[in-house]
Amino acid sequence: MYGHLCGSTVHLGGGAREIIYDTGFFGRPKDDYLELTLIESVYLHYKGRITVELDGKDLDLEDLIYKSSRRMDNFEVKYIVYKDLRERGYYIKPGVTDFRVYPRGGRPGSTPSKYFVQALSERQILPLPQLIRQVETTDNLKKEMILAVVDEESDITFYSTKLRSMKGESKKISLNNDIRASLLEDRVIVWDIQETQNLHNELLYGKPLDEKRLHLSLIEAAYLQVNGLIIIRDSKKDVKNNILAPDIFAEQAAIVDPDFPLKLAVYKDLRDQGMVVKTGYKFGSHYRVYKKVNSKSKMKHSEFLVHAIDNDHIFNLPQLSRAVRLAHSVRKQMIFAWKAGNNIRYLEIGRIKM
Amino acid sequence: MYGHLCGSTVHLGGGAREIIYDTGFFGRPKDDYLELTLIESVYLHYKGRITVELDGKDLDLEDLIYKSSRRMDNFEVKYIVYKDLRERGYYIKPGVTDFRVYPRGGRPGSTPSKYFVQALSERQILPLPQLIRQVETTDNLKKEMILAVVDEESDITFYSTKLRSMKGESKKISLNNDIRASLLEDRVIVWDIQETQNLHNELLYGKPLDEKRLHLSLIEAAYLQVNGLIIIRDSKKDVKNNILAPDIFAEQAAIVDPDFPLKLAVYKDLRDQGMVVKTGYKFGSHYRVYKKVNSKSKMKHSEFLVHAIDNDHIFNLPQLSRAVRLAHSVRKQMIFAWKAGNNIRYLEIGRIKM
């Protein structure tokens, strides 16, 4: 077939509909021609199925790639993703993100598309607000939003992204109020061994340092404090009953850890939803989260890693890769959480094979 | 035993040498008393082996911890590490880092200490220059430098740190010079299928996009270019033989990737040392590195992840945790690399069990 390069499309004349569209769903049929994107054109040229001319001269593949690269941002990265999916049997159409992709075995006209795919170079940045808009649009259309990240060596990693809720099933138990605790540098100590055991064994708060003391993290202490369960004293003051009010405690915690207010908001939401939340330090995330734990002895594998981010966070893709890969390697789901008004929203990002 | 709190030490009187020092190597024997650190004192108080008084009044454990926390930075974190190691059978003395630790079965007086341990809260930052000085000092004394990082919930992760060299055994083969390549956005294409196969199959450069083209990363292209193996043309210019000089190419690459000069310096050193270097994107590091690869078909598991950092880099401990944990989970060693004058230096950081 013979085509003509026209801006950022290639027009194929008579017969193209039957030969090119009907056999592979390339291009968009117009009244008397078939319109191909640059990506489709390069692919069909590479396959030897079309010739493309400009100003009366045939373009070889190298020429056509040069022109495409100049006429379209990110051409090479998008082409790598297109070619990969196409050669593995997927039908692809242009879409609101880069590509609408049909499910395996499905095809345009008879099946709805399943995925919205966005192709990114690992060097691009991905602002959270932009990603959210895309995921919401995709959700509204009942599609799955997929990020296809092309690394420096042209390997592709696919990530599925979805907004989700977080809901746990841990029992709530009541405690004696006013448990005695002290702030010591960047952690809090509960002194009463009896209360220590209840807090730790039944609700999984803190870690026992010995038979006498339980260490709470600043986050845990703040949450228990605002719920009226513990009373925190300041160990830096000589008067033993120098009680720290919740706002003063939160202020001091924010000096030690500038992310404290954000992390506390996420922690509070997860605990309020019945999940058990522990530090994720060993996994490089803020929290590891359990859907259900009824006692320490029955503590299972945590299902989630949750990382709190600002609502204008900008994802750096190598860092995202590291977080998701690590979660994957320990069989957990990677969740990013941020504040949207008075609510916390959750985005799950996972590697998928396509 | 009865002791007296004196500044940031506790002094034990007559008989302490036999009862406390000789049985457990706590403290430093002086002429007529035994001097304990605050950490040793709190530990012995908790064990019920000593009583400590100040101004004629006995201090209970809570009081002694309060006082210690006010008299010593980071007391709680150091105490957590001390107690953990001590209770697992290690003898510990104060040292240039926080602790000198004797090997299992070893003891002060009869065995040299084996580890220098530094205790850190996960919230502390760790500047590379400071870490290097410590590791060099430790190396000179033939000890191992260990970081003990205490997370928010008082769990400890131990990291061994050592300076090392990187040397590979990959064969060097000669190639035809002046292979034709083009820069396209953020990657380089080699067009000649014959040269493509040699570059890729024998030296593991790049990734074939199809049977006609090989993609090189910017780093690979720059390295091959300065070694005179490829000639890179700029696809954005219409004249096909518009050749990019190495300095111009490097300039353009640094626009796409600000870390380019640093990453190239590390890449060059590793390749010059006979290692095979590929992108580490999937692992969130700059490179995955193979000691020996003789052909694509015999490509093995890569042994290292290498991440290039500035020589004034400041480690954030949760990020360090994530990198090391991920390397560990894929059975690779995590290496950080930086420029020191005209050389590249390498620091291996790995989790260890103590």
CA distance to partner chain B, nearest, from residue A48 (Å): 12
Cβ contacts of B218 on chain A, cutoff 8 Å: 152
Please report, for residues A38, A52, A340, B184, B287, the alpha-carbon distance to residue B212 in angstroms, rounded to integers and kept in the order given.
19, 18, 49, 16, 26
CA–CA dist A92, B327 (Å, integer):
36
Count Cα atoms within 13 angstroms, Cβ side, for B116. Answer: 19
Q: Are B154 and A182 inside 8 Å of each other by CB? A: no
Last residue within a domain, chosen from A49, A72, A95 = A72
The label of the residue with tokens 């033939």 reads B142
Nearest to A69 among B77, B210, B235 (CB): B235
Assigned domain for A328 exists:
no
Nearest to B215 among A154, A278, A279 (CB): A154
Q: Are B157 and A121 inside 8 Å of each other by CB? A: no
Q: Is B175 exposed, middle or buried, given 0-12, 13-18 or 19+ CB atoms closer than 10 A? A: middle
Question: Choosing from B57, B142, B172, B301, which is the catalytic residue?
Answer: B301
Mean pLDDT by 10 residues, chain B (354 residues): 93 90 92 94 95 94 91 93 96 92 92 96 94 95 96 92 92 72 88 78 84 89 91 75 88 91 96 92 92 71 95 94 92 97 97 93
User: Which residues pair with residue A316 across a beta bridge?
Assistant: A125
Q: Please, which pLDDT band fits residue A286 given cuts at 50, 70 and 90?
A: very high
CA–CA dist B47, B43 (Å, integer):
6
The label of the residue with tokens 């959480």 reads A337
User: Which residues pair with residue A53 across a beta bridge?
Assistant: A4, A58
CA–CA dist B108, A339 (Å, integer):
54
Residue of A nearest to B212 (CA): A46
CA distance to partner chain A, nearest, from residue B288 (Å): 12
Asked if residue B1 lies in contact with residue B20, where contact means CB atoms within 8 angstroms, the answer is yes
Angle, vertex CA A126, rays to CA B218 and CA A75, nearest 5: 50
- The DSSP element (H or E) to which A76 belongs, if any, is helix A75-87
Assigned domain for A285 exists:
no
C-alpha B212 chain-centroid distance: 41
Cβ contacts of A62 on chain B, cutoff 8 Å: 182, 191
User: Which residues pair with residue B21 across a beta bridge?
Assistant: none
Q: Tokens representing A151?
A: 């690394």
CA–CA dist A290, A21 (Å, integer):
50
Cβ contacts of A182 on chain B, cutoff 8 Å: 62, 66
Assess whether pLDDT exceeds 60 at residue A240.
no
Q: Are B157 and A325 inside 8 Å of each other by CB? A: no
Cβ contacts of B283 on chain A, cutoff 8 Å: 321-322, 325
Residue of B nearest to A158 (CA): B282
Q: Tokens representing B334?
A: 């995590």
- Render A277-344 in DSSP notation, one character per residue: EEE-GGGTSSEEEES--SSGGG-----EEEEE--TT-EEEHHHHHHHHHHHHHTT-EEEEEEEETTEE
Assigned domain for A34 exists:
yes
**Residues A168-198: tens digit of each pLDDT:** 988 776 666 788 899 988 889 998 777 777 7
Asked if residue B219 lies in contact with residue B267, where contact means CB atoms within 8 angstroms, the answer is yes
Q: Are B210 and A285 inside 8 Å of each other by CB? A: no
Q: Determine the pLDDT at residue A149.
A: 97
According to DSSP, the β-strands at B187-190 and B214-216 are antiparallel
Assigned domain for A31 exists:
yes
CA–CA dist B146, B151 (Å, integer):
16
Asked if residue A258 lies in contact with residue A163, where contact means CB atoms within 8 angstroms, the answer is no
C-alpha B36 chain-centroid distance: 33
Average pLDDT rounded to a whole number, residues A39-49: 95
Amino acid A212 reads: K
Residues in chain B: 354
Amino acid B133 reads: R
**Residues B6-39: tens digit of each pLDDT:** 999 999 988 888 999 998 999 999 989 999 999 9
Please report, for residues A69, B196, B201, B204, the alpha-carbon distance to residue B179 in angstroms, rounded to integers and kept in the order given.
21, 9, 15, 16
Q: Please, which pLDDT band fits residue A90 given cuts at 50, 70 and 90?
A: very high
Nearest to B185 among A76, A323, A325 (CB): A76
According to DSSP, the β-strands at A276-279 and A230-234 are unpaired
Assigned domain for B298 exists:
no
CA distance to partner chain A, nearest, from residue B322 (Å): 4
Q: Please, which pLDDT band fits residue A235 given cuts at 50, 70 and 90?
A: confident
Tell me whether residue B171 is one of the annotated catalytic residues: no
CA–CA dist B44, B49 (Å, integer):
5
Asked if residue B255 lies in contact with residue B249, where contact means CB atoms within 8 angstroms, the answer is no
As annotated, the active-site residues of A are 290, 301, 332
The whole domain housing B224 covers: 173-258
- Mean pLDDT for chain A overall: 91
A38-46 vs A61-71: helix crossing angle, rounded to 10: 170
Cβ contacts of B207 on chain A, cutoff 8 Å: 153-155
Q: Tokens representing B49?
A: 């082996």
Cβ contacts of B149 on chain A, cutoff 8 Å: 281
Count Cα atoms within 13 angstroms, Cβ side, for A101. Answer: 26
Amino acid B187 reads: R
Asked if residue B146 lies in contact with residue B84, where contact means CB atoms within 8 angstroms, the answer is no
Q: Is B255 helix (H, G, I), strand (E, B) or coil?
A: helix
Please report, for residues A99, A146, A167, A237, the alpha-carbon distance to residue A135 in angstroms, rounded to integers and kept in the order given.
14, 9, 21, 51
Q: Is B119 helix (H, G, I), strand (E, B) or coil?
A: strand
What are phi and psi for residue A21, nearest 5 degrees? -75, -50
Please report, for residues A129, B116, B317, the alpha-carbon distance to residue B159 in angstroms, rounded to integers and kept in the order given.
37, 11, 11
The domain total for chain A is: 2
Residue of B nearest to A240 (CA): B63
Q: Determine the pLDDT at residue A333.
A: 97
Residue of B nearest to A236 (CA): B70
**Residues A128-162: tens digit of each pLDDT:** 999 999 999 999 999 999 999 999 888 999 999 99
Residue of A nearest to B260 (CA): A123
Q: Tokens representing A200?
A: 């730790």
**Residues B252-305: tens digit of each pLDDT:** 999 988 999 999 999 999 999 999 999 998 898 999 999 887 666 666 789 999
B218-226 vs B246-256: helix crossing angle, rounded to 10: 170
Q: Residue A146 gets which letter from DSSP?
A: E
Residue B274 Ramachandran class (φ > 0 left, ψ -120 to 50 alpha, else beta):
left
Q: Are A66 and B182 inside 8 Å of each other by CB? A: yes
CA–CA dist A79, A60 (Å, integer):
17
Q: Residue A5 gets which letter from DSSP?
A: E
Q: Are B235 and A83 inside 8 Å of each other by CB? A: no
Question: Choosing from B215, B290, B307, B346, which is the catalytic residue?
Answer: B290
CA–CA dist B150, B80 (Å, integer):
8
CA distance to partner chain A, nearest, from residue B67 (Å): 9
What CATH number does the domain containing A192 carry? 3.40.1170.20
Q: Determine the pLDDT at residue B197.
A: 78
C-alpha B2 chain-centroid distance: 43
How many residue contacts between A and B have a Cβ separation below 8 Å?
174
Q: Determine the pLDDT at residue B223.
A: 94
Amino acid A344 reads: I
Q: Tokens representing B91?
A: 């003898």
CA–CA dist B124, B315 (Å, integer):
9
Assigned domain for A292 exists:
no
Cβ contacts of A76 on chain B, cutoff 8 Å: 184-187
Cβ contacts of B69 on chain A, cutoff 8 Å: 184-185, 235-236
Assigned domain for A254 exists:
yes
Sign of the C-alpha dihedral, residues B334, B338, B340, B344?
Answer: positive
Nearest to B257 among A123, A235, A325 (CB): A123
Last residue within a domain, chosen from B15, B38, B71 = B71
Asked if residue B153 lies in contact with residue A207, where contact means CB atoms within 8 angstroms, the answer is yes
Assess whether pLDDT exceeds 60 at residue A223.
yes
Last residue within a domain, chosen from B71, B91, B121 = B71
Sign of the C-alpha dihedral, residues B233, B237, B238, B243?
Answer: negative
Asked if residue A316 lies in contact with residue A125, where contact means CB atoms within 8 angstroms, the answer is yes
Asked if residue B17 lies in contact with residue B34, where contact means CB atoms within 8 angstroms, the answer is yes
Count Cα atoms within 13 angstroms, Cβ side, for A81. Answer: 30
Q: Please, which pLDDT band fits residue A263 given cuts at 50, 70 and 90?
A: very high
Assigned domain for A145 exists:
no
What is the ipTM, given to two decimal places?
0.84
